[in-house]
Amino acid sequence: MDKRDLLLIPGPTPVIDEIYEALALETRGHTDPRFVEIYKHTIEQTKQLFQTDGEVFVIAGTGTLAMEMAIVNTVGKGENLLVISHGYFGDRFTQLAKAYDIQVDVLQSEWGEQIDPSIVEQTLKTKPYKAVTITHADTSTGVVSDLDTLVPIIKKAGALVILDGVVATAALVENMSKTYGHPDYKIDVVLTGSQKAIGMPPGLAIVAFNQTALKAREQLGQVPAYYCDIKNWQQIMEDPSKYFATPPINLIYAYKEALDIVLKEGMEKREKRHIAYGRGIRAAMRAYGMQPLAKEEVAAPTLSCILYPEGVDDATFRNALALRGVIVAGSLAHLAGKAFRIGHMGNTTPEMLEIAIEAIGEVLVEQGYSVNIEKAKIAFKEEIEQAVLK
Ligand SMILES: *Cc1c(COP(=O)(O)O)cnc(C)c1O
C-alpha cells in the first residue's frame, strides 16, 4: 500500500489498521448469530459511552441523518425549536427544522465566539420551546459549547436538550447520566457520526435518547418520517436479530473495534488528551504567527480554525501541504480563503501532529515567511507533556 496521507481535516479522521482490518472481515448475513452478537455488543458499548439508561440507535447513515432523527422524533410540526448556533452546523438544524414545518428560532454567535448564556435564558422566556439544540463543538469555527452553563438554563425552561456531538463524541465527555445542578437536569439526546473522534470511516448515524426524550417521541404519535422514525428501530435495537433495514455489517465490525479502543482508553483520559492536542496545535500555530479564530477559553479540543497571515493563499498553502502528505481543510462561508481548519482528534497521535506542524512550517517558509519550526514543535510538545504529567 502507498504511504497514507495524514488526514487532518475535521472528519473523516485517520483510520488505524485495527479498524481497517475489522472492516475487511467477512460480510455475513444480518441475521447470522455471529453478526447479531457483535451488533448487540456495540449497542451496549454505545450505552456505556453515553452512560445512558435510555435507548441508543446505531444505523447506516451520517451525522446529518442522526441530526434528523434527533429532531423528527422529539419536535412536532408547529412546535418551537431553539437553535444555539456557533457556526455552520448549528445552522444546519435550522434548515432541517424548516423541512419539517417546525417553528425555529436561531441564536447565532459571531463566528469564533460563544452565545452569551443570558441571551439563551431570555429567549427561552419568550415562548414554550420543545427543544434546544447545542452543537458540542462547531466544525466550522472550532468553538466548543459550555454544557455546564447551557444545560441547566435549558432544562429550567422545560425544554429538551439535544446535543450534536458529531465532532465531539469520543473526544469530549458526553455523560447522559450526569445531572447539571438538579436531579432532573440532564442531556436528553446525543447524536453523532462515525467518522470524527470515533475514528472510523463515515457511514454510521448514532443517536442516544434518554427516558424523557423517549416519552416525547411517544407523545408525538405519528411522525413524518419512516427510515429515521425511532419507533421502527426500537425493536431492532432491543433484538438485533430482527429486521427493519439491513445494517451496515462491516461498519458494525469496525464500530466494535473503534469503541473497544475508546472505552479501553476511557473518556476522561481521552478528553484530557484532546484538550492537550488542541492547546498544543494552537500554541504551535501562534508560534508561527498565526491566530486561531476562537479565543483559547472557547476553543474546541478536537479541531482548530486558524486564520492565515496576510498574503498566504489558501489553495497554494493547502496544495503544498498535500504534496507533503498532510491534508487540512479550507474554511466555510465568509471565512473561505481566509483560514484553514485542522482536525486533531480520534486516533490521531502526537507524532502525526508533529509531522503536520513541521510541514506547515516548511510551507510557510516556502511562501516567504520566516518561522522557527523547532520553536513551534517545542510549544506543541510542552502542552502534550504537561497533560501526560497531570
Ligand atoms: C460533520 C458534522 C455534521 C454532519 O455530519 P455528516 O456525517 O457529514 O452528515 C454535523 N454536525 C457537526 C458538528 C459536524 O461536525
CATH of the domain at 361: 3.90.1150.10
- Provide the mean pLDDT of the chain: 97
Closest CA to 188 of 348, 55, 337: 55
d(C-alpha 198, C-alpha 347), whole Å: 8
Q: What angle do CA 382, 384, 292 make, to 5 degrees?
A: 80
Let me know whether 124 and 252 are in one domain: yes
Let me know whether 354 and 307 are in one domain: yes
- Which ligand 1 atom sits nearest the alpha carbon of residue 138? 13
Q: Which of 230, 264, 298 is the last residue of a domain?
A: 264
Regarding beta strands 339-343 and 303-307, do their DSSP bridges make them parallel or antiparallel, or are they unpaired?
antiparallel
Let me know whether 320 and 241 are in one domain: no
In the numeric block, the cell 498574503 is attached to 311
Let me know whether 260 and 316 are in one domain: no
CATH number at residue 64: 3.40.640.10
Let me know whether 172 and 282 are in one domain: no
d(C-alpha 46, C-alpha 42), whole Å: 6
Q: Which of 247, 264, 281 is the last residue of a domain?
A: 264
Q: Which domain covers residue 109, as residue numbers? A: 17-264
- Which ligand 1 atom sits nearest the alpha carbon of residue 202? 7
The predicted pLDDT at position 249 comes to 98
N-term to C-term CA, the chain: 38
Domain count, the chain: 2
pLDDT band of residue 2 (cuts 50, 70, 90) is: low
- Which ligand 1 atom sits nearest the alpha carbon of residue 67? 10
* pLDDT over 90, % of the chain: 97
pTM, entire model: 0.97
Ligand 1 geometric centre to CA of 196 (Å): 9
Let me know whether 248 and 328 are in one domain: no
In the numeric block, the cell 458494525 is attached to 252
User: Ligand 1 pocket, 140 CB below 6 A?
Assistant: no
Let me know whether 249 and 297 are in one domain: no
Let me know whether 225 and 351 are in one domain: no
Ligand 1 geometric centre to CA of 167 (Å): 7
Ligand 1 geometric centre to CA of 318 (Å): 22
- Which ligand 1 atom sits nearest the alpha carbon of residue 193? 7
Cβ neighbors of 190 (< 8 A, separation 6 or more) are: 50, 163, 165, 169, 174, 176, 207, 208
Q: Which of 234, 264, 294 is the last residue of a domain?
A: 264
Let me know whether 310 and 222 are in one domain: no
Grid cell at residue 387: 497533560
Closest CA to 308 of 333, 275, 330, 332: 330
- Res. 234: pLDDT tops 80: yes
Ligand 1 geometric centre to CA of 70 (Å): 13
For the chain, the C-alpha Rg in angstroms (whole number) is: 21
Ligand 1 geometric centre to CA of 176 (Å): 20
Kindly report the protein residue whose alpha carbon is nearest to atom 1 of ligand 1.
166
Neighbours of 28 (CB within 10 A): 15
pLDDT in tens, 86-128: 999 988 999 999 999 999 999 999 999 999 999 999 999 999 9
Let me know whether 66 and 104 are in one domain: yes
In the numeric block, the cell 444546519 is attached to 92
- Which ligand 1 atom sits nearest the alpha carbon of residue 195? 7
Ligand 1 geometric centre to CA of 165 (Å): 9
Let me know whether 158 and 173 are in one domain: yes
